[in-house]
């Protein structure tokens, strides 16, 4: 009875202070759309600022981990990543005897870390102000709102201090890729002949991998000018990928290649006019697939945040593993070899990305993300992928995440930018990375039949 009287007194005080309190504010602030929208805002800024695929994976992962850790501090069903990621220390403890709306803290932590990793900070600030103003209308007490925002900021500061030690800053000063006279090695490609992107990315600290070369794939096929060699057969498969197929099959292959292009910076030259097209990165595409899956499954706030965290960690480790091999084998791209030895006028359907060929980043990253999403949502989770609609490409449908990852991998052959081994070995490499993350990291405090292991 005394507790009831105290609650009435508190409500009376809040009303007297002009604050309209909604008794269901904790449930309403746990709307997963708040987090979905925050991630989409981050994606839009990543596209605007033109981050390379590996760097974009770093932005997605640390911001998603911040949101996850802030939420896990108040959710007994979620297990902190601290200790599971060996170099991550526990987040600050929530303030004692202070009510926290942990979903709000998660959104705040995600946005603050995301802002710290991009260039267009004003875009993130404006979004945060608008979203927090919207959440205020949920009707939680001012002290709960303020304490939740403060806790989210504290977790974000903890993650920012942590990521500062991942070698990213140091690699900004490392030497660029050195071009050699060896024709089997990568050379910059048209139209911009850009330097090799992130030649030291294998030195970035991973989350679950023991080392960057833990899942080192087989080397590429031996380079050869012999017309009967295996190498030449693989080159000709790229060169003739649209030869001898029907118009319908050719159109479908082109549609697949363009759908999975995911090149954040495609340059165009029309006469004397030069301009660029910006698009999502491969990781950004899979972040959007994670959103599609969570929404289709009607995932609650916790499962939504868990989905983004696991997917982004998988892509982050996948890029480290892939880039380790890229700058070990340093293999020449099909465009360079074909122009030198087969057809000087040939151009691939897609613009060749500025880094070595082996293995295929799409193959590694897509498979790692698909493995994690399959663990979360099941083997036969069919979905419609509308990730590219805003870039004027139609929705494609898939019977499973693994099927989508297989098409993403094959798209690189259809796009004319990868040989077959880079695709096949890359899928195997990505599967190993994804499964390793699942073995090393457990997000659920209690494993249920919903997510068997």
Q: What is the pLDDT of residue 10?
A: 41
Three-state secondary structure call for residue 209:
coil
Strand partners, 385: 396
Rg of the Cα atoms in the chain? 24
Asked whether residue 6 carries a pLDDT value surpassing 70, the answer given is: no
| Ranges of each domain in the chain | 19-168, 185-440
d(CA 372, CA 370): 5
Interatomic CA distance for residues 215 and 356, integer angstroms: 18
> Could you write out the DSSP letters of every residue in 332-370?
PPHHHHHHHHT-TT---SSPPPSS--SS-HHHHHHHHHH
pLDDT at 448: 53
Q: Which two tokens stand for residue 387?
A: 């990730």
**pLDDT per residue as tens digits for the range 352-387:** 999 999 999 999 999 999 999 999 999 999 999 999
Superfamily of 19-168 according to CATH: Phosphatidic acid phosphatase type 2/haloperoxidase (1.20.144.10)
Q: How far apart are CA 222 and CA 219, in angstroms?
A: 8
The three-class DSSP label of residue 444 is strand
Query: Does position 244 have pLDDT exceeding 60, yes or no?
Result: yes
Residue 324 Cα distances to 211, 321, 364, 444, angstroms? 10, 5, 12, 31
Tens of pLDDT along 128-171? Answer: 999 999 999 999 999 999 999 999 999 999 999 999 999 999 99
> 374-393 as b/e, with b when 16 or more CB fall inside 10 Å?
bbbbbeebebebebbeeeeb
**CA gap 213, 327 in Å, rounded:** 11
Reported as a pLDDT band with limits 50, 70 and 90, residue 8 is: very low
19-168 matches 185-440 in fold: no
Determine the pLDDT at residue 2.
38
Coil, strand or helix: which one is 177? coil
Query: Is residue 382 within 8 Å of 398, Cβ to Cβ?
Result: yes
DSSP secondary structure letter of residue 389: G
CB-CB neighbours of 127 under 10 Å? 20
Average pLDDT over residues 86-102: 96
Kindly report the pTM of this predicted structure: 0.93
- 8-17, 207-216, 298-307: least confident range: 8-17
Pair of tokens at residue 449: 């039949």
* Topology (CATH) of 185-440: Vanadium-containing Chloroperoxidase; domain 2 (1.10.606)
Contacts of 420 (CB under 8 A, 6+ apart): 234, 237, 413
């Amino acid at each position: 009875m005394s507790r009831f009287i105290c609650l009435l007194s508190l409500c009376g005080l809040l009303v007297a202070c002009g604050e309209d309190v909604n008794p269901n504010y904790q449930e309403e602030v746990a709307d997963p759309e708040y987090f979905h929208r925050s991630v989409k805002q981050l994606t839009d800024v990543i596209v605007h600022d033109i981050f390379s695929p590996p760097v974009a994976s770093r932005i997605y992962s640390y911001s998603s981990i911040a949101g996850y850790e802030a939420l896990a501090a108040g959710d007994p069903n979620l297990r902190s990543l601290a200790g599971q990621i060996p170099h991550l220390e526990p987040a600050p403890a929530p303030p004692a005897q202070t009510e926290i709306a942990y979903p709000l803290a998660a959104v705040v932590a995600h946005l603050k870390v995301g802002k710290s990793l991009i260039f267009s900070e004003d875009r993130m600030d404006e979004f945060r102000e608008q979203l927090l103003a919207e959440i205020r209308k949920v009707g939680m007490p001012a002290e709960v709102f303020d304490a939740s925002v403060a806790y989210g900021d504290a977790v974000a500061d903890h993650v920012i201090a942590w990521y500062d030690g991942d070698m990213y800053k140091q690699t900004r000063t490392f030497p660029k890729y050195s071009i050699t006279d060896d024709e089997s090695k990568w050379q910059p490609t048209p139209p911009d002949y850009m330097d090799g992107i992130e030649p030291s990315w294998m030195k970035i600290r991973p989350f679950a991998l023991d080392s960057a070369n833990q899942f080192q794939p087989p080397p590429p096929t031996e380079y050869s000018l012999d017309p009967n060699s295996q190498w030449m057969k693989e080159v000709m498969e790229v060169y003739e990928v649209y030869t001898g197929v029907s118009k319908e099959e050719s159109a479908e292959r082109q549609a697949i290649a363009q759908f999975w292009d995911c090149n954040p910076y495609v340059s165009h030259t029309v006469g004397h006019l030069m301009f660029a097209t910006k698009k999502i990165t491969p990781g950004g595409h899979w972040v959007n697939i994670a959103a599609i899956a969570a929404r289709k499954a009607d995932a609650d706030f916790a499962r939504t945040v868990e989905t983004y965290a696991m997917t982004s960690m998988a892509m982050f480790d996948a890029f480290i593993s892939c880039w380790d091999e890229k700058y070990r084998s340093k293999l020449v791209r099909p465009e360079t070899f074909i122009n030198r030895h087969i057809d000087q006028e040939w151009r691939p359907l897609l613009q060749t990305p500025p880094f070595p060929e082996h293995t295929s980043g799409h193959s590694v990253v897509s498979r790692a993300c698909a493995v994690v999403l399959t663990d979360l949502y099941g083997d036969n989770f069919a979905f419609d992928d509308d990730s590219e609609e805003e870039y004027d490409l139609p929705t494609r449908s898939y019977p499973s995440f693994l099927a989508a990852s297989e098409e993403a991998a094959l798209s690189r052959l259809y796009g004319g930018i990868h040989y077959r081994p880079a695709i096949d070995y890359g899928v195997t490499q990505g599967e190993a990375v994804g499964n390793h993350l699942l073995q090393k990291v457990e997000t659920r405090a209690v494993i249920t039949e919903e997510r068997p292991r």
